[in-house]
């Protein structure tokens, strides 16, 4: 029997481990909505009614998957996150808060919100209400949307540094925090450690509006940013060049602090696909994004034993060879419901060259709307396809959303145990 770290590392070598590796909550794209975590814990008898669940990532409202739930599910990966979240404040000094559906929560001290009569709930960067809100939770919504706070764009005076304000050299205090988190898991558990610590997601649209910043400057409008990749290509390229330099310096500092105790790093969450095709042409990816992906991966593979993850939703099959050539070891979330993302074809064509971390069940249609029997059958089928010869870590296609029937969640967990 392997421990969790050995199991996933074996799969990453494209060899068959003792059993299928499993991840829920190892990164911010394999989590579970906080309301679902609460419902699961109640159904499984882990808590008394109205016991609050921690919101470990408030932007997507992801719930903490604690050790007892990890054991029941059979999870093999543990997350190593920075001290601050998407809204720029620390996950610390917890206080009670209640979601509109009655889910009792624990949120960080600076989770400061304002609810308006229309039912919308506004969030503030760094918890500072002296500035306009940075995000909004729609009425009866389950996660926040960025609010665009775009000032006037003066093309004659664009300053690259304005779009780099949130990308800074990591502090000694943050390195100390990371080391403590890593050592806690490394010396006390057998989990594989997955780091989401450095902003190297070039053009990650969740970050473009500057949700961590009180008063973001530069190009922060989402539509304007996408157009700028064509109309202001050199400006965007200069942002990426500086961001890449900063990211590599931060990876160096992290490696000097914790070495190879972290096994896998989440490198980028920039989405390149839609439901039916690419969001960007292959030539544009190769010209504007791939060089920086390659620089980061080259440094990692030349200096560490880490493996690297690219997260990209959508129908990205035409870019998978480019991702492999850029040095990525792992693809997530493997959105199998999209065009040309058929599991058998993906495994046959790319299974020897990149690990599929995800694709274990469709979260758009099957998990929320299927029957427990249908969920179990799909999980069995997908494990049978992806797990042959290793190169697969079971995870759902992106995060588990709210309002999934608990019976479907339990059917998924049962299928994992039956067929792993």
Res. 297 pLDDT band, cuts 50 70 90: very high
* Distance set, CA 49 to CA 37, 42, 53, 78, 191 (Å): 13, 7, 11, 27, 30
Q: Is residue 111 part of a domain?
A: no
Phi-psi region of 206 (alpha: psi -120 to 50; beta: other; left: phi over 0): alpha
Give me the domain span that covers residue 45: 4-92+153-419
Mean pLDDT of the chain: 97
- Is the pTM here over 0.85, yes or no? yes
- Across residues 258-278, what is the average pLDDT? 97
Digit-coded pLDDT (tens) for 67-83: 999 999 999 999 999 99
Residue 91 CA to residue 119 CA, distance in Å, equals 25
Q: Is residue 346 part of a domain?
A: yes
Q: Is residue 377 part of a domain?
A: yes
For the chain, the straight-line distance linking the first and the last C-alpha, in angstroms and rounded, comes to 13
- Across residues 256-273, what is the average pLDDT? 98
Res. 55 pLDDT band, cuts 50 70 90: very high
Q: Is residue 174 part of a domain?
A: yes
Digit-coded pLDDT (tens) for 222-260: 999 999 999 999 999 999 999 999 999 999 999 999 999
3-state secondary structure of 283: helix
Answer whether 199's CB lies under 8 Å from 166's CB. yes
Q: Is residue 129 part of a domain?
A: no
Residue 233 CA to residue 192 CA, distance in Å, equals 39
Question: What is the tally of structural domains in the chain?
Answer: 1
Res. 199 pLDDT band, cuts 50 70 90: confident
Buried b (16+ CB within 10 A) or exposed e, 272-285: bbeeeebbbeeebb
Residue 98 CA to residue 285 CA, distance in Å, equals 42
Sheet holding 145-146, edge to edge: 113-115, 121-123, 135-137, 145-146
Q: Is residue 75 part of a domain?
A: yes
Q: Is residue 102 part of a domain?
A: no
Task: Output DSSP code: residue 259.
Answer: T
Residues listed for the chain? 420
Answer whether 397's CB lies under 8 Å from 358's CB. yes
Whether residue 217 is predicted with pLDDT greater than 90 in this model: the reply is yes
Neighbours of 129 (CB within 10 A): 11
Digit-coded pLDDT (tens) for 132-186: 999 999 999 999 999 999 989 999 999 999 999 999 999 999 999 999 999 999 9
Answer whether 294's CB lies under 8 Å from 328's CB. no
Q: Is residue 99 part of a domain?
A: no
What CATH number does residue 256 fall under?
3.20.20.210
Which of these, 260, 274, 366, 350, lies nearest to 313 by C-alpha position?
274
Answer whether 391's CB lies under 8 Å from 23's CB. no
């Amino acid at each position: 029997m392997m421990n969790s770290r050995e199991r996933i590392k074996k799969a990453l070598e494209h060899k068959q481990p003792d059993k299928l590796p499993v991840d829920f909550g190892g990164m911010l794209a394999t989590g579970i909505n906080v309301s679902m975590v609460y419902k699961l814990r109640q159904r499984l008898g882990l808590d008394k009614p109205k016991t609050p669940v921690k919101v470990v990532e408030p932007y997507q409202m992801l719930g903490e998957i604690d050790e007892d739930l990890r054991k029941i599910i059979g999870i093999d990966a543990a997350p190593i996150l920075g001290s601050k979240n998407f809204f720029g404040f620390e996950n610390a000094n917890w206080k009670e808060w209640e979601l509109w559906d009655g889910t009792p929560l624990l949120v960080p001290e600076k989770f400061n919100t304002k609810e308006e009569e229309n039912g919308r709930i506004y969030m503030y960067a760094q918890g500072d209400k002296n500035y306009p809100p940075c995000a909004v939770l729609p009425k009866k919504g389950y996660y926040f949307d960025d609010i665009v706070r775009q000032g006037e764009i003066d093309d004659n005076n664009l300053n690259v540094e304005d779009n780099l304000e949130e990308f800074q050299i990591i502090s000694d205090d943050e390195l100390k925090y990371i080391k403590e988190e890593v050592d806690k898991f490394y010396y006390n558990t057998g989990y594989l450690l997955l780091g989401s610590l450095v902003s190297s997601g070039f053009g990650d649209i969740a970050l473009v509006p500057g949700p961590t910043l009180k008063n973001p400057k530069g190009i922060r409008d989402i539509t304007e940013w996408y157009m700028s990749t064509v109309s202001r290509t050199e400006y965007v390229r200069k942002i990426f060049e500086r961001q890449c330099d900063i990211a590599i310096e931060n990876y160096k500092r992290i490696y000097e602090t914790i070495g190879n105790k972290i096994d896998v790093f989440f490198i980028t969450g920039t989405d390149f696909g839609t439901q039916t095709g690419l969001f960007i042409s292959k030539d544009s990816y190769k010209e504007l994004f791939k060089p920086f992906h390659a620089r980061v991966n080259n440094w990692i593979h030349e200096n560490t034993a880490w493996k690297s993850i690219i997260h990209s939703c959508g129908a990205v099959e035409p870019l998978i060879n480019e991702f492999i050539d850029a040095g990525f070891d792992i693809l997530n979330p493997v959105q199998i419901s999209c065009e040309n993302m058929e599991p058998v074809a993906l495994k046959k064509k790319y299974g020897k060259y990149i690990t599929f971390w995800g694709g274990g069940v469709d979260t758009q249609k099957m998990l929320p709307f299927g029957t427990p029997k249908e969920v179990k059958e799909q999980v069995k089928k997908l494990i049978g396809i992806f797990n042959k010869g290793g190169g697969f870590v079971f995870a759902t296609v992106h995060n588990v959303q709210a309002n999934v029937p608990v019976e479907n969640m339990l059917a998924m967990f049962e299928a994992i145990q039956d067929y792993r």
